Amino acid sequence: MADSKAPAIGENTRPLVKSAHNKRRKLQTRLILFCTLFALLLATFIGGYGYYVHTTSMMERYYVYAETQLYQALSWLNGDELALSIATGEMSEAYYNQKAALDLFLEYSEIRSLYVVYFPDPADFQTMYYVISATSSDILAEDPDFFTAVNTPGVIGDAADADYDLETASLIASSMQDQPETATVQFIANDTELYGYVLTAYVPVFDSDSQVVSILALDLSMEEIRETMRGYLISVALGTILILAVFLLGFIYFLNRFVISPIRNLSHSARDFVAQSDRAQDDPTQLLFKPVPVHTKDEIELLSESISDMTSGLKSYMINLKTITGEKERISAELNVAREIQASMLPQVFPAVHEYEIQASMLPAKEVGGDFYDFFQPDADHLCVVVADVSGKGVPAALFMAIAKALIKQNVLSGKSPAEVFTVTNEQLCEGNGGNLFVTAWMGLLELSTGKLTYVNAGHNPPLLKTGGSAFTYLKSIPGFVLAGMEGIVYRQSEILLGAGDVLYLYTDGVTEATNADNELYGDDRLITLANQVAVTALDGFLKRIQIDIDAFVQEAPQADDITMLALKIKARR
């Protein structure tokens, strides 16, 4: 029975493995992409940082060199003489001496150009004039006639042949307003189409009255920096590619050998084990897992050992499951037989004679239960009815039920009164009650000729009684202790006179203690309300209507107790 309900292990796992195979992405590809991206980001960061540091360092060296050269050239200038040349436009011997010094300085330095300019009106930075423009052999080689006379206008603007753009000119012109104590060398880096990438350094030239008469400036080519940094970037890129290629080759080799290959082999072995499980349902001992030799000394080896242990445990589980399933099937078959035996022990034919009509039903919570009902005539003038509930469930309760039922009937047939029957039965059940079971029971003995009902209660639910045209009420009785609960108990009985049309309804606690999904009890109030709403014209319909209402209340909630009911209707006296 278990095999027909529980899917085989192989059937459960195969679709899951196949689905995972269809949706997965290769671990190797993801790891390589991640490492490549990480290496590129790292190389970009290191290269960018190196580029910044190297560029900053070179620029600092250029600044220091330009400043040193500028102050050296400034030491050969005379502000008063320059002011005179600017004012008169004449180039005196002193003028030529200063120009010669600048020419010589330019010749033997790495400066690209060296010159002196001035702005008549610092606010009008678009008007600039040259005072001195130093020449060198390189300049004369390009232009043998190169010479800039004093007061030669400069070109300011965005034209291709402009000396300065507007922004640079405004910065240089602002130095015309400097003071000796605050004047410092200023730097401007420009990348122009005419002159290329140059660093312009400038400082004001003062006369003896501490007035700015002109600006000494030099241009230093920084193409070397550009080429150096271009080469640096190319070197970093090539080095990164080379290192990344070597790293990836090594990483791929390591990944394949120590991660991917072991995992793939483990996957193949696991799939093979799953495939075997389909074929080994009848004999799980034939299952064989092929261990994967993994000696990585890390989590992969631990995974291999765990899978091996898991498959070994799964094999043992399947073997035990098959054994348990077989045992369960055997027990289930035996319980079915026991259920049939139990059902055969209860009266199945419900007589409808001249004096009375009787109906009963029992629904066990398990295959066999501990509830029982019984009715029989010990003689022609008496009818005995019994409803009882044995503690516990299953086979032990059913066996104890059979004993209790037989003892009660035996004692009734011996002519004892209901109180004597329970007193004797209690003593008999207490003997050898190693399972500590007990029985709640209610028994009534109806005298058919008079309608007198003598009854006794051993800790059981009081029955419902409907007399004449009145509603159902609980039948009062002298309470007694449960059967098999304690030796030496003396039970007392009660009597009531019944007439034609009276109905007695007996039940076990499985009716009132039926529980729904919200753990709510069916309850006594619901039972008596329903009993009064249902017509008692046919007892079988009466019991079925109560059972239907219980089922509707419980719905899918599991049944915790047996449900046993018996209804007796008095038709006439003998």
pLDDT in tens, 210-269: 999 999 999 988 887 778 778 888 888 888 888 888 888 888 888 888 877 888 887 787
User: What residues are paired with 196 via a beta bridge?
Assistant: 192
CA 244/CA 242 separation, integer angstroms = 5
Domain final residue, candidates 221, 242, 265: 221
User: Does residue 131 sit within a domain?
Assistant: yes
Q: Tell me the mean pLDDT in the region 372-385.
A: 96
Q: Is residue 261 part of a domain?
A: no
Q: What is the pLDDT of residues 146-174, one digit of tens each?
A: 778 888 888 877 766 778 888 888 999 99
CA-CA distance, 328 to 322, in Å (whole number)?
10
Rounded to the nearest 10 degrees, the angle between the axes of helix 27-74 and helix 223-255 is 160
Of 188, 205, 221, the domain-final residue:
221
The reported pLDDT for the residue numbered 381 is: 94
Residues 211 and 353 placed together within one structural domain of the fold = no
The Cα diameter of the chain in Å comes to 167
Q: Up-side HSE of residue 207: CA atoms within 13 Å toward CB?
A: 13
Beta-strand pair 563-570/356-363: antiparallel
Q: Which among 196, 221, 246 is the end of a domain?
A: 221
The per-residue pLDDT for 546 is 94
Average pLDDT over residues 433-456: 94
Which of 76-85, 275-284, 354-363, 407-416 shows the lowest mean pLDDT across its residues? 275-284
Q: What are the tokens at 339?
A: 């259920």
List Cα–Cα distances, 439 to 139, 281, 392, 565, in angstroms. Answer: 127, 45, 10, 16
Decide if 57 is inside a domain.
no
Angle CA 211–118–70, to nearest 5: 80
Least confident of 35-44, 107-116, 455-464, 467-476: 35-44
Q: Is residue 469 within a helix (H) or strand (E), and if so which, with residue range?
A: none
Residue 53 lies in a domain: no
Partners of 359 in the beta sheet?
A: 567
Q: Assess if residue 45 is contained within a domain.
A: no
In eight-state DSSP terms, residue 284 is G
- pLDDT score at 456: 98
Residues 367 and 514 in one domain: yes
**Residue 468 pLDDT more than 90?**
no
User: What is the token pair recorded at 246?
Assistant: 């070597």
Per-residue model confidence (pLDDT) at position 129: 92
Is 50 inside any structural domain?
no
Residue 367's pLDDT band (cuts 50, 70, 90): low
Quick: pLDDT tens for 69-84.
999 999 999 999 999 9
Supply the pLDDT for residue 285: 72
Per the structure, how many domains does the chain have?
2
Shared-domain flag, residues 216 and 353: no
Backbone angles phi, psi at 490, to 5 degrees: -110, 120
CATH code (residue 165): 3.30.450.20
Query: What is the average pLDDT across 337-360?
Result: 85
Residue 250 maps to a domain: no
Quick one: 216 and 356 in the same domain?
no
State the residue range of the domain holding 563: 349-570
Examine residue 388 and state whether it is found in any structural domain, yes or no: yes
Q: Is the pLDDT of residue 106 over 60?
A: yes
Q: What is the pLDDT of residue 16?
A: 42
